[in-house]
Chain A
Amino acid sequence: MQDDKRYKVRDNQLINICKNTASRINKHAVDEFEIFTASSVENEIEIFKGKVETLSFSDSIGIGIRIFKDKSIGYAYTTVLDESSIEDCICKAVSNCKITGREDYNYLPGEEESTFKQKLIGDKSLFKEDFLNYNIESKVALAKRLETLTKSKDARIVDINNVMYDDSIYETAILNSAGFCDKYKTTTCLIYVSAISKQGEDTSTGDFFGCGRTLGDLDLEEVAEKAAGRSVSILGGKKIKSQRVDLLLDPIVSAQFLGVIAGTLTADSVQKRKSLFEGKIGQKIFSIDVDIFDDGTIPDGLSSKPFDGEGVIKGKTCVFKDGYLKTYLYNTYTARKDKTLSTGNAVRASYRSTPEVGISNFYLEPSDIDFNQLLGDIDRGFYVIDIIGLHSGANPISGQVSVGAKGIWIENGNLSYPIKEVTIATDILSFCSSIKKVGNDLRFIPSGGYIGSPSLLVRDIMVGGN
């Protein structure tokens, strides 16, 4: 918080907590165990009209214990790390084994069960020493600068209703009874701004964000420009008639759709018969040659890490190649069920949860077609700048998608008038086969993983209006 309070790397502290806990667990009658610890130190700053509105500091730590006994798993976590709380936590995890279902695949991952054999990324890429040089005052100043900068972009911007700066130093360690013991640390920072613009009676909002490993990675100019542009470009927007048209999806929108698809590609959802991609390995899902990867080793990928939530080494997995579905994403348990190897996709949201299957950096490979070429390829269409209601409007199991949208009408390859209060509706499989062109402007969004997509040209989708 002050310069003399510079963050001190916890280094072996987390490993030591794991080791001490392990020696406690060894006194209990269990078959196997895994200890996951994580600590984070965070700053969150909100600015309103040039002043600090909220400034929060946090420093937290927690431990999650997974116990394997008679092929059943029990879990417990605690944020209080004194001896008696940890002992309680162990006892609860042991007792939780008694009611969960037995399953032959319930045992710790072995070294030979990983697709990737060598750690491909580490603290050098994930943790930026430079980040520690910024004090709280410089972070506040940065957020204030973003507010002023965004406001200055257009005379029609009347208010900045939200400016946020958020960062964290995260350290984690896993130790299990099969011999795994390792740690890593990361730094991340995020800025966000939302601008209100007015023209006559009409009000519009637009937002944008930037993120990186250290403050130097944040491009304030770009964030301000985009937020302002997204706000004013919709001013005076109107509803259009319901009709089927071509859509040009902004990367931010494309990435959100891709996120819905990503959720259905986990082996867990497939094995539980909750995925539209069940039984579709080897089939052509996209009508064009689309490549999609999950890559946990991209140097500036915010979801990169050396190993996953159960200690399996992370790598790069090709999920779609030339539009064909190649593989699902696996953790050890689901891989054993499908008689294959883990792709290193065990994900833990925090020490509060057990490892589930999920994405890391998940992206659609860009082409060399630029935005204007995509635009020029549309006679009548809808350039979608923003969508609303994806969490309630997309059902990843049934595949139906219906969301609110705003953007700009496209006439003969040119941007025409703004549109708002309309919907776009499709289903996941139709959406995949309706993608006809992919842009070159790949952009990632942090959203339950780090999801990236370029602009997408999608033909013949229903837009609901009046």
Chain B
Amino acid sequence: MIEDRLTKEILNTLLRSGADFSEIFIQRRVSNNLRLEDSKIENSSSGYELGCGLRLWVGDSTFYAYVDSLEKNKLLNAAKVLSSSINGSSSLKVLNLTETKSSYSTSVKKFPGKIHPGSKKNILESVDKSSRDFSSTIIQVTSTLSDTREEIYIANSYGAFSFEKMVKTFLAVNVVARKGKDIRTGYKSLARASGYETFDFKNPKSLAREASKIAVKMLDAVNAPAGELPVVIGPAFGGVIFHEACGHGLEADAILKGASVFKDKIGKKIATSMITAIDDSTLEYHWGSYKFDGEGYPSSKTVLIKDGILQSYIYDLRTSKKLGAKQTGNGRRQSFRHVPVPRMSNTYIESRDEDSGSIIKSVNKGIYAREFAGGQVDPATGDFVFGISEGYLIENGKISFPIKDATLIGNGPDILKKIEVVARDLDFAPGFCGKSGQLISNEVGQPTIKVSKITVGGTEN
């Protein structure tokens, strides 16, 4: 996206005051966003962003700056100013740049730019119609469709550079159903690192019906119980439990700061032997996949936990160097405006051989949690929560009444030892994860699992 000569000049300018490392991250992003509400397209917006982030290290300190431009003068000036924030000198110099290879490759079939705006509008209108046709109790449908095309070029003072073109599509539907005074919602999203063939992978209408079904079912919800109960957590979005209870605590920046309950636990048993957990940024077309992470390192599959034993943390370049571990390709950033930090990509619990139906049958009195609104964790203490958006009571081995939204609360290391059974119905769900003020795309995944006991935050004693 810029000439090799200029890249080298910038990297060397960044190095000259004594930096140990320098990097340039260039991003071009073209996006389109459509929103439907009240059965009409309410917002149609297009964006164009182009910019460059410059990073250098000296000792343990990171210095970062960015410019909304690729103009030579502006880039060089920003590099000069950034390097002048440290005082020293360096003999480091970049002479050659070699392209980094990645084993992850994809092909885009339906480029967003080739899709007629009218066709995009049709997708949202079909979502609206399918939702409203589902039930007369549905009083509102909000649906958003967005596509982004990105080009990312990264080069660093180790002499490596990478280039990636990425296309992503995202469709979300939020349905509101009302009966008397009760208002309930249902939410579903479909997101892939691919073009409009995403909607061949899954039909928007079925997404709409799934969301509608949740909202309508929840109209009959009874109060959720309060207290400790066995909880069966459904596949796909259920993986949010691992994401919060363990995943964030394995991100190596928390380990480096001593702010994780999983520090010094490599090689130790931290979960029941049923648990094998993976972070894999190479799953084809998955929402959290990429060719290169935000530092130009190739994507990879990392076994985090094998049969209950902790194998690896989740690293970016800085933490892998500091902790003397191999990079895992998880240095991610929201955009050229952000410093990369260790983040999960597609993170999931592997299937075992149990049947999900028999797991439900094994519960006398408990909860079946099917869909979730997200979660949060404090990695330093391991305390985490996640919110159920579609849940049911289990009574005598059978799913009975739907329950109102409730939060589950637990402590990561404690809950990992309470995952008793793992089924074979592994599935994934896309979402956005926020950390250090940066929102990135990722997926959670798991088969149906059973947690022997966790606190359910309902209103019924």
Mark A residues whose CB is within 8 Å of B: 1-2, 5, 48, 51-62, 73-80, 85, 88-89, 92-93, 95-101, 103, 136, 159, 161-162, 196, 203-205, 239, 242-244, 272-274, 276, 352-354, 388-389, 391-393, 395, 397-400, 402-404, 406, 420-426, 462-466
Contact = CB atoms under 8 A, between A and B. Distances in A.
Q: How many residues of B sit at the interface, in one of the four size bands?
A: 35 or more
Interface stretch (B177-185, B201-209, B287-295, B296-304): B177-185
Interface in B241-270: 257-259, 261
B85 A136 contact: yes
A57 B183 contact: no
19 contacts: A56-B63, A57-B81, A58-B337, A59-B67, A60-B51, A73-B43, A76-B46, A93-B46, A96-B117, A159-B258, A161-B257, A161-B258, A244-B461, A273-B140, A392-B373, A393-B373, A393-B407, A395-B185, A425-B457
Nearest to B376: A389
B451 to A, nearest CB: 14
A402 B48 CA distance: 39
A55 B461 contact: no
A161 B253 CA distance: 10
A399 B457 contact: no
Contacts of B455: 239, 421-423, 464-466
B90 interface: no
B304 to A, nearest CB: 22
A308 to B, nearest CB: 18
B183 A54 contact: no
Which of A353, A398, A463 is packed against the most chain B CB atoms within 10 Å? A398
B459 A426 contact: yes
B324 interface: no
Interface stretch (B157-165, B358-366, B383-391): B383-391
Those 3 A-B pairs whose CB atoms lie nearest each other, nearest first: A423-B457, A101-B40, A389-B385
B37 interface: yes
A62 B139 CA distance: 37
B396 interface: no
A463 B108 CA distance: 50
Contact of B457 (A203, A397, A464): A464
Contact of B85 (A55, A62, A399, A421): A55
Given A100-B44, A402-B406, A463-B226, A56 B339 contact: yes
Given A80-B69, A462-B459, A100 B85 contact: no
A426 B458 CA distance: 8
B254 to A, nearest CB: 8
A1 B64 CA distance: 12
Main DSSP-derived SS at the B contact region = strand
Contacts, number: 259
Interface string B320-341: 0000000000000000010100
Interface string B198-229: 00000000000000000000100000101110
B153 interface: no
A94 to B, nearest CB: 11
B411 A421 contact: yes
Nearest to B374: A392
Contacts of B4: none
Contacts of A61: 68
Which of B41, B68, B118, B121 is packed against the most chain A CB atoms within 10 Å? B68
Contacts of A205: 378, 380-381
A420 B80 CA distance: 50
Nearest to B373: A392
Interface stretch (B54-62, B305-313, B345-353, B441-449): B54-62
Contacts of B84: 1-2
Contacts of A56: 63-65, 339
Nearest to B59: A51
A203 B261 contact: yes
A227 to B, nearest CB: 13
A74 B35 CA distance: 12
A99 B62 contact: no
A99 B407 contact: no
B41 A100 contact: yes
Given A60-B68, A205-B378, A205-B381, A399 B258 contact: no
A354 B178 CA distance: 29
B125 to A, nearest CB: 10
A399 B404 CA distance: 10
A89 B411 CA distance: 49
Contact of A79 (B38, B68, B404, B460): B68
B392 interface: no
B224 A402 contact: yes
A96 B406 contact: no
Interface in B15-53: 34, 37-38, 40-51
